Amino acid sequence: MNPDEILAAKSQVRRMVARVLVQMPPGRVGAASVAVGQRLAQIPSVRAARTLMAFLSLPTEIDTWPIIRWAWHAGKRVAVPRIEPGPAGRDVPLRERSMVAVLLEPADVSGVAAHPAVRPGPLGILEVPGAAPLPLPEIDVVLVPCQAVDRKGNRLGKGGGFFDRFLADPNLRADRIVIAFQEQLLDEVPVAEWDRPVRMVVTDAEVLTFGNL
């Protein structure tokens, strides 16, 4: 497929999966999130990680808050993504902005939105403003969100490209694990040359491991 055809195919898959996710009952979301967390806790690289990077989930994503709390209780540091603004006085399109990892300090609160350091960022995604970026070599495992993922480890994001650019940084040597609902796991997703595959996919029903770097 040419680039325009790939973009069109990606948009079609995103819309298809979005329809499934918005119809998912709350009980299904909670049960799937617990199952994913239990599977993650058995993965050697996750258990051994000193610093785990986890995204702050949206309502149609696996709930990462229980995973974050488990990591704190296990003595791990937790990093979360933050989309950086452009240089002062310059309006930089979201597609050109970089993403960094910042530490999320432990807090005994009911959910991530109640964390005192967390605020809504670009696109309404929760993040930690003001914290210094964490050096990428210090991150041991990155939990990666997706709109869809396939059985070869190819990931389809939501279209911003933030995680693809982040994962492409040669200083990041962390294990890359997509966590997703089983409904997001497809036989194949459209892929462009800049898309970054992951090493593992963990859903509420199965764990897939690949040779991707």
What distance in Å separates the CA atoms of residue 89 and residue 70, rounded to the nearest whole number?
41
What distance in Å separates the CA atoms of residue 66 and residue 112, rounded to the nearest whole number?
10
- Amino acid sitting at position 183: E
Question: What is the reported pLDDT for 79?
Answer: 98
Question: What is the reported pLDDT for 212?
Answer: 64
Q: Which two tokens stand for residue 206?
A: 């199965």
Distances (CA, A) of 180 to 95, 133, 171, 191: 24, 26, 26, 18
Regions of the chain short of the pLDDT cut 50: 89
Please name the residues in contact with 76: beta carbons below 8 A apart, sequence gap of 6 or more: 49, 50, 51, 52
Question: What is the reported pLDDT for 97?
Answer: 78
Contact at 8 Å (CB) between 176 and 33?
A: no
Question: What is the reported pLDDT for 121?
Answer: 83
Closest CA to 202 of 180, 175, 174, 176: 180
| CB count in 10 Å sphere of residue 133 | 14
Q: What are phi and psi of 111, to 5 degrees?
A: -165, 170
Question: What is the reported pLDDT for 136?
Answer: 98
Helical packing angle, 26-40 and 65-73, nearest 10°? 30
Sketch out the chain's domains with CATH numbers. Answer: 3-86+93-209 (3.40.50.10420)
What distance in Å separates the CA atoms of residue 152 and residue 112, rounded to the nearest whole number?
32
Q: What is the pLDDT of residues 149-170, one digit of tens each?
A: 999 999 999 888 889 999 999 9
Q: What is the pTM of this model?
A: 0.93
165: which DSSP letter? H
Question: What is the reported pLDDT for 5?
Answer: 85
Please name the residues in contact with 37: beta carbons below 8 A apart, sequence gap of 6 or more: 66, 67, 70
Q: Which two tokens stand for residue 74?
A: 């296990």
The Cβ-side half-sphere exposure at 173, using a 13 Å CA radius, reads 4
